[in-house]
Amino acid sequence: MFWETHPDSEQYLKTWYDTVLSSKWNNPSEVKQTFVHASILKNNRIVFNIKGNAYRLVAKFNFEKQWIFIKFIGTHSEYDTIDANTV
């Protein structure tokens, strides 16, 4: 688990997970209403700021099936080295 290496992220990631699990979104703008600091990318990808932007989580959404695929979790500096649209 990511928080074994970054223990300060554990509660923030668990809160994110609980929120996602209890939500039913139909499009990226509905996600943005819940996570106002999230960044909407192309192809239903969304970047979430975790722990005040210390960490980033990139997820790809399938709104029709209500599936979420976590594509990346890392520090902000690690995020700066990837392409969030293709990771």
Distance CA 70, CA 87 (A): 10
pLDDT at 67: 96
* Assigned architecture for domain 2-79: 2-Layer Sandwich (3.30)
Output the CA torsion sign for 62, 85, 28, 34. Answer: positive
Question: For residues 14 and 1, is the Cβ–Cβ distance under 8 A?
Answer: no
Question: For residues 67 and 28, is the Cβ–Cβ distance under 8 A?
Answer: no
pTM of the entire predicted model:
0.94
pLDDT at 22: 96
Q: Is the pLDDT of residue 8 over 90?
A: yes
pLDDT at 57: 98
Domains of the chain, residue spans = 2-79
Mean pLDDT of 6-11: 95
pLDDT at 60: 98
pLDDT at 10: 95
